[in-house]
Structure 1
Amino acid sequence: MRKTIYLFIAIMTVTLFASCERVAPNYAGVLMENYGKDGKTDFSIVSGKVSTWEWGTELFQVPLFDQRGAFAEAVILKAADNTEFKACPVYSYKVIKDRAIDVVFDNKHIGSFGDFMSSLEDNILEPRIYDLIKEESRKYKTDTLMADGGSLAFEKNLEQIVRKEFEDRGLELRSFSAQLEFSDKVREKIDSRNEVNTNISVLDQQIEEQKKRNELEQLRTEQALIQSRGLTKEILQKQFIDKWDGKTPLYGVVPDFLKLTK
């Protein structure tokens, strides 16, 4: 009988030790008790060895250092003009230390087994990033995205949207890049359109230049007309008299005002 009791104690001791987990360094241990039925009150931050033998108890290991994620496959998107292009998002983030319980509480349904953060990325973060980048891409035309600084502006706007989304989930976005890719066919189409636009721009400049030349010539003509209208008959008579000494013989047609003078 005594041997049976000792054996039972030994088994219980091994079971208890086997039911203990240790929170890894630089991790936040979030312990869920009572299956989390009473909300966040059933969650607490723990460290060191943690007993998880009771029913409804589960330990989540939440890393407090930078995490890096990347989409396994390119995302097919459509611009506002219905042109398809691809994106291969890469990002990095870390859990906000004071929000570790929030991160676990909001995502406990994905379970603590395996790598909790990888599950979080695959099941929560990347599907949400996909929805956001898809929605944002519909606001831009292809030529805008491919113009100088166009894709950069798109990525900056998208980064701010993703940053806000992560912050709401208790995560700090450290870096983000959509890495847009356009097919050769789309690039050729845009290059051809840009060439046409460049030629049109040159013609517009030439037309404007010719308009200015025409306006200048018209101004000169109007100025000449104004000057000629200013030379009245009386002014011409005075200029003639001022230059004639009254003695030099006049040949040809004699002005009428001189005849009247005689």
Structure 2
Amino acid sequence: MNYLSEEGRSPSRSKIIKAVVLVVLLCVFWIVQPFTYENIDAGNVGIKINLYGSDRGVDNITIVTGRVWYNTWTTKIVEFPTFTQSVDYEPFVVTTKDAAEFQVDPKLNYHINSAMVPQIYRQYRKSLSEIEQQFMRNTIYDAYRIVANSFTSDSVMSNREKFEDKIQIILSKNLGKDGFIYDQLTSAISPPASLRQMIDEKNASIQARLKAENQAKQAIAEATVSKAKAEGEAAALLVRARAEAEANRLKQQSLTPLIIQQQMLEKWDGKLPQYGTIPQFFKNIQ
């Protein structure tokens, strides 16, 4: 009976072992299997590269979007963003025509022409970050170097807009031909210490001159106000004097004989004289 029981259990144990082995094999296959997928998000472009076969290599590149299934053993997916990128580069030094050294701290905004993504990969075969720090940085440096060599140190500071316009023209041309669309370049240009000191001294001199001119204008204005005020007061005094003189003249003209007699009567004490005639009386009163 025990022997039969062992025989009856053997087929079940064998099935369990086979199932376990199958599961292990499936797990191993799932781990090592080459098939996977890549999600190409909006604002990005992917390129599918065949690694084997008669059409292998970068000569057979297909632009793909969305979810892409591929065999990692035979195929490679490289993704490039096509939305605006901003790169802040480390400062570098360029030399002007008169051997002055300017430090430049550029920041570039650009985006990729999606139709030229295969060409970009064929030409550089690097990631976008590597392209930014190698080819694009060298292009920016060369643009500044070429333009700076055509300017003197003074003209760089006094013609900043013209200086940067020339750099933008060169960058737009050299980056655009390889599929990188120039958007904006922000550059902080710092002159050498000696030139900066000269500029500061010049600005201080200009500020002092403007201050002196303003003070002189203010003094002239205050003097003009004082003069106008004095002239006004003098004119007012003259007007008052003329008015008083005119009043006195009119007062003198108003003293008629009748008024004089009235004043004489006001001076009389009421006693008749003991001598002379009435006319003589009035004459004496006067």
Describe the shift of the 1:33–1:39 C-alpha distance in structure 2 as closer, same or farther (beyond 3 A): closer
Alignment correspondent of 2:98: 81
1:111-190 pair list within 5 angstroms: 116-147=127-158, 150-189=159-198
Deviation digits for residues 24-63 of structure 1 (CA, Å, limit 9, x no counterpart) = 33211112222798665321112313324124x3211111
Query: CA 1:140/1:38 → structure 2, altered by over 3 Å: closer, same or farther?
Result: farther
Distance in 2 (alpha carbons) for counterparts of 1:183 and 1:25: 46
- Relative distance call for 1:35 and 1:168 in structure 2 (3 A) is farther
Partner of 1:240: none
Contact kept in structure 2, 1:34 and 1:42, CA below 8 Å? no
Q: Is the 8 A contact 2:34 2:72 kept in 1?
A: no
Q: Deviations over 1:96-116 (max 9, x none)?
A: 1211111222221x2xxxxx3
Letter aligned with residue 128 of structure 2: M
Q: Which moved more, 1:46-55 or 1:89-98?
A: 46-55
The one-letter amino acid paired with 1:103 is I
Please state if 1:66 is matched with 2:75. no
Q: Assess, with a 3 A threshold, how the Cα gap between structure 1 residues 19 and 25 changes in structure 2: closer, same or farther.
A: same
User: Percentage identity across aligned positions?
Assistant: 18
SS of 1:81's equivalent in the other structure is: coil
Deviation at 1:89, TM superposition (A): 0.9
What 5-or-longer segments of structure 1 have no aligned partner?
111-115, 196-262
Q: Contact conserved, 2:35 with 2:69, CA < 8 A, in 1?
A: no
- The Cα offsets for residues 69-116 of structure 1, whole Å up to 9 and x where unpaired, read as 111x211111000011111111101111211111222221x2xxxxx3
- Larger RCO, structure (CA 8 Å, separation 6 or more): 1
User: What displacement does 1:135 show?
Assistant: 2.2
Do the aligned residues in 2 keep the contact of 1:68 with 1:92 (CA within 8 Å)? yes
- Measure how far apart 1:19 and its partner are: 4.1
The structure 1 residue matched to 2:42, chosen from 18, 25, 35, is: 25
Question: What TM-score, normalized by structure 2, do the two folds share?
Answer: 0.57
TM-score, normalising length: structure 1: 0.62
- In the TM superposition, what is the alpha-carbon distance from 1:126 to its structure 2 partner? 0.9
Structure-2 separation of matches of 1:165 and 1:35: 34
**Which shifted more, 151-160 or 30-39?**
30-39
Conserved? CA contact 1:79–1:139, under 8 Å: yes
Q: Work out the CA distance in 1 between the residues paired with 2:52 and 2:167.
A: 37
1:6 is displaced (CA, Å) by 5.1
In 2, Cα distance between equivalents of 1:137 and 1:86: 11
Which amino acid letter does the alignment assign opposite residue 122 of structure 2?
Answer: F
**Inter-CA distance 100–185: structure 2 relative to 1 (3 Å threshold):** same
C-alpha distance after superposition, 1:141-167 (max 9, x if no partner): 1111111xx111111110110111111
> Quick one: structure 1 residues 145 and 25, their matched pair in 2 at CA, closer, same or farther if it must change by over 3 Å?
same
Contact persistence 1:23–1:50 (CA under 8 A) = no
Q: In proportion to residue count, which structure has more strand?
A: 2
Do the aligned partners of 1:52 and 1:59 also contact (CA within 8 Å) in 2? no
Question: Which amino acid letter does the alignment assign opposite residue 82 of structure 2?
Answer: L
**Runs of 5+ consecutive residues of structure 2 not aligned to the other structure:** 1-16, 205-286
SS at match of 1:12: helix
Conservation of the 8 A alpha-carbon contact between 2:34 and 2:71: no
Q: Partners of 2:51 and 2:31 in 1: how far apart?
A: 23
